[in-house]
Structure 1
Amino acid sequence: MHMNSAPHLLTEDRAEYERILDDALRNAHDRPDLAAVGQRLNTEQLRTMALNATALITTAAAAEYEHYTKIREEMRAPKAAASVRNSVLAPVTGEAAAESGAGFAAVIAVLAPVLAGTAALIFLLVGYILKALSPTASFAQTLVSAGWFFGALTAAAILVAAVALLLTALRNGATQVPAEEVTGELPDEVARAKDAWRHALLERGLLPFLRAALADPSADPKSSKPPRPVSRIPKVGYSGPDYSSPSEGSTAGQRPTFTSPDFTSPDFGGPEHQPE
């Protein structure tokens, strides 16, 4: 089901338009002027017609909608500006620098055990291989000792890394600013403007449209054209001249006959007017 986009209706408000329309159709039988719902047009057909005529219906409440969107944008602007300002100033604050340093230390604490463990593995492997090939070689014993040293260093680095990560997690948890709880409530001024738009859209847009659709016998639910407002613009009928065809008893092709006036010449008058 496609809904035409009105020139002034934003995408975020189309769901609200459908919600108002559904409420009007759901409560149609409570209104005497919409009592005819279901007789010729059902609610789904009326909904389709109203969605196809969104641009026309929302124009009836254009002033209230413009006021509502203007106030809503004004309320959003300070929050957006504060968010941008905080994101720009955060890197130059001392707290941000401290957090950056703590993050670098955490990276070093994680990499130290890996590097130390790799060195211990290499020294021990090479040392024991050389010691197996030449038991009397002093260099092999040196490599083995270095391997065990790096092994101990690996264990110590793991312990230090665990403590550092724990401290970092505790510090971040203590300094983290809790996010604002989203209550879904609008400021009073925005809420009043939204209620005014909803009321105007219902009373001046949707309800007159539905009444016109129910009163117009030629309304097509699949058509994108709005129904004729029969309650406002009465239909004026004109009848053409009454032309009747010839009667069946008349002869085909018969034409009307005309009798010319009977003019007589003076020379052919009566006996009393004979020429001498």
Structure 2
Amino acid sequence: MHMNSAPHLLTEDRAEYERILDDALRNAHDRPDLAAVGQRLNNEQLRTMALNATALITTAAAAEYEHYTKVREEMRSPAAAASVHNSVLSPAIGEASERGAGFAAVIAVLAPVLAGTAAVIFLLVGYFLKMLRPTPSFAEALVSAGWFFGALTAVAILVAAIGLLLTALRNGATQVPAEESTGELPDEVSRAKEAWRHALLERGLLPFLRAALADPSADPASAEPPRHVSRIPKVGYSGPDYSSPSEGSTAGQRPTFTSPDFTSPDFGGPEHRPE
């Protein structure tokens, strides 16, 4: 389907347009067709002209830009919907996970403390009772319980250390891909963006700059593009014709205005004089 005009360049893409323009001007001397940059028009003048003619230049890559913006919006919408879906449908799961993680952390911290405290109490009381004469019968049981809680303290400390190590490794493994993915676009969006950039450069900016350098009447401060820019391919989009009447007409194509012979029989000659 063809459109009568190019889609409007969104505000978020204007910075990308200016970057492509700046790159083209920066590398102009590497192109033989733009070697005249700086002789009559410098980079700033050409940049001003290209910014004034943004609507015309972007028309040359309108099909690619339309596809790029469509794919980008499609990629954004499912991500937002999935985020809302997960946040609405799985709050109970998240809360249960947080409660489980919090309970495990509490146990990991309190178990060594409680077991160590019990071991110290039982050992002190047991050995104190063993020094008494006669020795109470339950003194040996208290000492045994103290050594049991001492061993339990060592095991709890070991388990807590392993748990902390595994948690650190798991968080580290999930953090790296998240950081890497934040600066990258999905493959389909990246391809669509690159296609738009290429079309904008090759069919829009470069022909415009060549036309500006070839047009001796180009005014850098004018909002009107160079006269020959109307020859930029439109890719199915119709743009305004900036050709002057003198350029649009050629010799041999001018209309002739020879009128038909309106001579009546009454004025045909001497033999037909009126009475």
State the TM-score, normalized to the length of structure 1.
Answer: 0.52
Q: 2: distance between equivalents of 1:48 and 1:231?
A: 18
- Does the alignment pair 1:182 with 2:177? no
Per the alignment, residue 67 of structure 2 pairs with: 67
- Does the alignment pair 1:236 with 2:235? no
Alignment partner of 1:221: what SS?
coil
Q: How does 1:95-134 map to 2 (within 5 A)?
A: 95-96=94-95, 99=98
Q: 1: distance between equivalents of 2:97 and 2:39?
A: 73
Question: What's the RMSD between the two structures over aligned residues?
Answer: 3.6
Give runs of ≥4 in structure 1 deviating > 6 Å.
Answer: 100-103, 173-177
Q: Any stretches of 5+ residues in structure 2 without a counterpart?
A: 1-5, 103-163, 232-242, 250-275
Q: 2: distance between equivalents of 1:43 and 1:63?
A: 28
Q: 2: distance between equivalents of 1:29 and 1:227?
A: 21
Alignment partner of 2:193: what SS?
helix
- Does the alignment pair 1:198 with 2:210? no
Per the alignment, residue 82 of structure 1 pairs with: 82
- Residues 65 and 7 (structure 1), Cα distance of their counterparts in 2 relative to 1, 3 Å cut: closer
Per the alignment, residue 11 of structure 1 pairs with: 11
- Offset at residue 236 of structure 1 (A): 3.3
- Offset at residue 100 of structure 1 (A): 7.1
Letter in 1 for 2:57: I
Letter in 1 for 2:203: R
- Residues 16 and 100 (structure 1), Cα distance of their counterparts in 2 relative to 1, 3 Å cut: same
- Offset at residue 225 of structure 1 (A): 1.5
- Offset at residue 13 of structure 1 (A): 1.5
- Does the alignment pair 1:22 with 2:22? yes
Sequence identity (%): 80
Q: In the comparison of the two structures, how many residue pairs are matched?
A: 174
Greater CA drift, 216-225 or 179-188: 179-188
Per the alignment, residue 41 of structure 1 pairs with: 41
**Is the 1:71–1:190 Cα contact (8 Å) retained in structure 2?**
yes
Letter in 1 for 2:39: Q
Deviation string, structure 1 residues 9-31 (Cα, Å, up to 9, x no partner): 12222121111111111111121
Q: 2: distance between equivalents of 1:235 and 1:218?
A: 16
Per the alignment, residue 129 of structure 2 pairs with: none
Q: Looking at secondary structure, tell me which structure has more helix per residue.
A: 2
- Offset at residue 78 of structure 1 (A): 2.1
Deviation string, structure 1 residues 20-64 (Cα, Å, up to 9, x no partner): 111111111121221111011100110111111111111110100
Q: Any stretches of 5+ residues in structure 1 without a counterpart?
A: 1-5, 104-169, 239-276
Deviation string, structure 1 residues 129-160 (Cα, Å, up to 9, x no partner): xxxxxxxxxxxxxxxxxxxxxxxxxxxxxxxx
- Residues 67 and 102 (structure 1), Cα distance of their counterparts in 2 relative to 1, 3 Å cut: closer
- Offset at residue 91 of structure 1 (A): 2.9
- Residues 215 and 66 (structure 1), Cα distance of their counterparts in 2 relative to 1, 3 Å cut: same
Letter in 2 for 1:222: A
Alignment partner of 2:227: what SS?
coil
- Offset at residue 230 of structure 1 (A): 7.0
Alignment partner of 1:222: what SS?
coil
Letter in 2 for 1:203: E
- Residues 230 and 21 (structure 1), Cα distance of their counterparts in 2 relative to 1, 3 Å cut: closer
Q: 2: distance between equivalents of 1:64 and 1:31?
A: 24
**Is the 1:41–1:214 Cα contact (8 Å) retained in structure 2?**
yes
Q: 2: distance between equivalents of 1:230 and 1:91?
A: 58
Per the alignment, residue 215 of structure 1 pairs with: 214
Letter in 2 for 1:11: T
Q: 1: distance between equivalents of 2:46 and 2:215?
A: 12
Larger Rg: 1
**Is the 1:52–1:224 Cα contact (8 Å) retained in structure 2?**
yes
Q: 1: distance between equivalents of 2:221 and 2:201?
A: 22
Q: 1: distance between equivalents of 2:39 and 2:227?
A: 19
Instruction: Considering Cα pairs closer than 8 Å and 6+ residues apart, tell me whether 1 or 2 has the greater RCO.
Output: 2
